[in-house]
Structure 1
Amino acid sequence: MRINVLQHTPDEGPGTIKEWADNHDYELYVYHPYMFGMLPTAAETDFLVILGGPMSPNNGIPWIEQERELIQQLVKDHKPIFGACFGAQQITKVFGKQVVKSPAKEVGWASVYLQSDQIPGLPHQLTALHWHEDCCELPDQAELLFSSDLVQQQGFLIGDNIIGLQFHLEPTQDNVHEMIVNDGRYALDHNDLQQTPTEIDTTPVPSENKTAMFQLLDFLTH
């Protein structure tokens, strides 16, 4: 299987998604369209992963629109797609819904609560990393997957092959350090979770996050 990862900022990489791919001996290729303007074709994509980033899907940037064209083709081909944060927002736009200002800016660690029983074995609660001030409308075809205390729409499932999460399960501890040293100031301005960069950085990544991430990826590729 060839997994194509779309990365949108240097400090938000695939994290444990790469570990999952390595465990299965899958090929994993990381693209940086924001820098090089390169995207894979649908034909060479068996599984698409769309990561987070500081940009908005509402920005009229050519590569952002080209990403959505790729997603649309993969939807038609019924290939697995996983999106985190900006990635989930891109999927939402493909399905005709809007990305809007979130009722709360969430930067830091906060609980998310499972809202669906469609994916076996997921815990009812996880402490996930949040890094957003926009959120997605729920696509008509989607089932609500997770909610948080401040934002109801935190994740969705479409059919048996598309998952979008507004939060992050993929970061390792090193990934969190990298996000903080490069973009920790984002937590300081009107952060409804009221966590400082130091508090976010020194919170251990829960071990169950990797387990849940692997469960989601296994579900998409079963």
Structure 2
Amino acid sequence: MRINVLQHTPNEGPGAIKAWAEDRDNKVYVYHPETFGIFPKADETDMLVVLGGPMSPGDDLPWLEEERQLIKDCLKQHLPILGICLGAQQIAICLGSSVHPAAHKEVGWAPVYKQNDAIAGLPDKLLALHWHQDMFEMPAESHLLYSSDLLANQGFLVNGNVIGLQFHLETLADNVREIVINDGAYAESGNDLHQTPAEILAQPLPSANKRAIYTMLDYLSVH
């Protein structure tokens, strides 16, 4: 299986998603659209992963629209798609929904709570990394997967082949360090989780997160 990954910023890589692909003997191809402006085609994609980033879907960046066209092409072919943070927001827009600033800015570690059993094997509660202020509205005919204390719309499942997550499960320990040392200032202003960069770094990485993202990817790979 060819896993095409769209990475929007240097400090938010595929992490455990790449580890899953390697464990399952799949090949990962990482594209950097903001840097190089290059995208894969839907016809050369077996699974599409759209990662997070500091930009918003409404920003005046031409490649964001090109990315949405790729997502739409993959949706038409019923390909498995996983979106994280910005990636989930991009997918939501492609499914006719909207993205706007949330009432609360979440930066740091906070629990998310499972809202249904559409994907077997996911835990009822996860301690996830959050790094956002924008939020998506739920796409039509989607299942709400997870909610947090500050934001109801934390994850969705559509048609059995599309998952969008507002939070991060893909981050491994080195990914968390890379995010914080490069973008830690984002946590220091208006953060409703009230965590400093040092406190975010001090939190041990929950082992359940890697298992959960593996469960989601295994689900997508057979649907």
The aligned residue for residue 113 of structure 1 is 113
The aligned residue for residue 42 of structure 2 is 42
Question: Residues 183-198 of structure 1 correspond to what in structure 2 (within 5 A)?
Answer: 183-198=183-198
Aligned length: 222
The aligned residue for residue 148 of structure 1 is 148
The aligned residue for residue 9 of structure 2 is 9
The aligned residue for residue 92 of structure 1 is 92
Distance (Å, rounded) in 1 between the aligned partners of 2:40 and 2:60: 20
Q: Percent identity of the aligned residues?
A: 58
The aligned residue for residue 180 of structure 2 is 180
The aligned residue for residue 76 of structure 1 is 76
Q: SS of 1:100's equivalent?
A: strand
The aligned residue for residue 127 of structure 2 is 127
The aligned residue for residue 217 of structure 2 is 217
Distance (Å, rounded) in 2 between the aligned partners of 1:174 and 1:66: 30
* Displacement of 1:60: 2.9
What is the letter of the counterpart of residue 108 of structure 2?
A: G
Q: SS of 2:156's equivalent?
A: strand
Report runs of 4+ in structure 1 exceeding 6 Å deviation.
Answer: none
* Displacement of 1:141: 2.1
* Displacement of 1:103: 1.4
Distance (Å, rounded) in 1 between the aligned partners of 2:83 and 2:125: 20
TM-score normalised according to structure 2 size: 0.99
* Displacement of 1:195: 0.2
The aligned residue for residue 51 of structure 1 is 51
TM-score normalised according to structure 1 size: 0.99
Question: Residues 165-176 of structure 1 correspond to what in structure 2 (within 5 A)?
Answer: 165-176=165-176
* Displacement of 1:116: 1.1
Distance (Å, rounded) in 2 between the aligned partners of 1:180 and 1:101: 22
Q: SS of 2:42's equivalent?
A: coil
What is the letter of the counterpart of residue 26 of structure 2?
A: Y
* Displacement of 1:61: 1.5
The aligned residue for residue 102 of structure 1 is 102
What is the letter of the counterpart of residue 95 of structure 1?
A: L
